[in-house]
Amino acid sequence: MRGAGRSGVLFLLAPALVFIVLLFLYPFAYGLFLSLTKADGTFTFGNYIRFFADARDLRTIWTTLSISVPVTFINVGLAVPFSYYMRRGVRGEKVITFFLIVPITLGTVLISEGMLSYMGPNGWLNQLLMALRIVKEPFRFTHNYLGVVISLGLSGFPYAFLMLLGYVSGISPDLEKASQMLGASKIQTFWRVLFPLMVPGIAIAFCLNFVMAFSVFPSAVLLGQPSGPTRVISIAAYQWAFEKFNFNAASSISMLMAAIELVVISIVLVWRGRTYKGASIVGKG
C-alpha cells in the first residue's frame, strides 16, 4: 500500500516536475553553459571578465539596484499599513480591489504607454498642475528615473498589497484582543504581535517585488533613458544578444542577474528567520 501511495504521489507530481525542468532547470543550465563558453563551445571565463572590465556595463548593476531596491521598499512599505487597515474589510473594498487588479491585467507595457499619454508634457496631469498654478511649465514625469520608478510602483504595489492582505487577514483577531486586554496599546500590539507574524508574508512580497523590479526592461526603455541614466542590466543583456549577437556574453549577464537576485533574496530570508520568532504580548510598563 505504501508503494502504491508513493507511486500515486509521484504520478501527481510528474506534470509539475516536467514543467520545472523544461521551463526553469534546462534554460538555466543551458544559459550557464553559454556563459562559460565561446561561440565555438570552448570553455572560458572571458564573458564575465569582459563584463567587469567594461565600466559602462558594470555600471548597470548599480543603476538597476538604485531603481529596484527603493521601489521594492516603497511598494512593500505602503502595502503593510494598507493591508493592516483593510484586514477586516472596509467599505468599498470591492471597488478598491478592482482598481488594484487593473494594473496587473494591463502589464508594464500598457502602463508605460498610458503614462506617456497622461503624464507626458502635454498630458492631462501636467495640464491640471499648470491650470492650478502648481507648476509654471510641464513637469518631467517621464523619460527619466522618476518615470521608471512610478511605473514599477504602479505595477508592483498591487502584488505586494494583495499578497500581504491575504496573509494578514489569516492572523487570528483573538491575538490582538488578548494583547489589548493585557494592557498593550494598538501600536504595541502591531509591532510586538502582528508585525512579527506578518514577517513571512512581508519577506515573500519583498522578494517577489524585487525580482520584478530588478528585471525591469519595458519601463526602462519606454519611460527612462535606456542609453543613459536608466540603462539597466537587462538592457545590457539585450544589446549583447540582439544587437551584437553575442549570446554567450548575454548569457553571462543573465547569470549575474540571477546571482544578484539570489544574494538579495538570501539576505531577506535570513532577516525573516531572525525576526520571525513568534509574537509576544506586551504588558503594561
pLDDT of residue 281: 41
pLDDT of residue 190: 83
Crossing angle for the helix pair 195-214 and 145-169, nearest 10 degrees?
Answer: 150
- Quote the pTM value: 0.86
pLDDT of residue 284: 39
pLDDT of residue 207: 95
- Number of structural domains (the chain) is 1
DSSP states along 132-173:
TTS-SS----SSSHHHHHHHHHHHHHHHHHHHHHHHHHTS-H
Instruction: Give how far the C-alpha of residue 7 lies from the chain's centroid of Cα atoms, to the nearest Å.
Output: 38
How far apart CA 119 and CA 126 sit, in angstroms, is 7
For residue 97, the domain's CATH number is 1.10.3720.10
- Inside any domain, residue 20: no
* Phi and psi torsions of 93, nearest 5°: -60, -40
State the cell numbers at 114.
498610458
How far apart CA 208 and CA 24 sit, in angstroms, is 17
Amino acid at 245: F
- Inside any domain, residue 68: yes
Residue 226 is part of which domain span? 46-110+143-275
DSSP letter, residue 244 = S
pLDDT of residue 90: 73
Q: Per-block average pLDDT, block size 10, for the chain (285 residues)?
A: 63 81 86 92 93 95 96 95 82 79 82 90 90 90 93 92 87 82 82 86 94 92 90 95 94 96 95 70 40
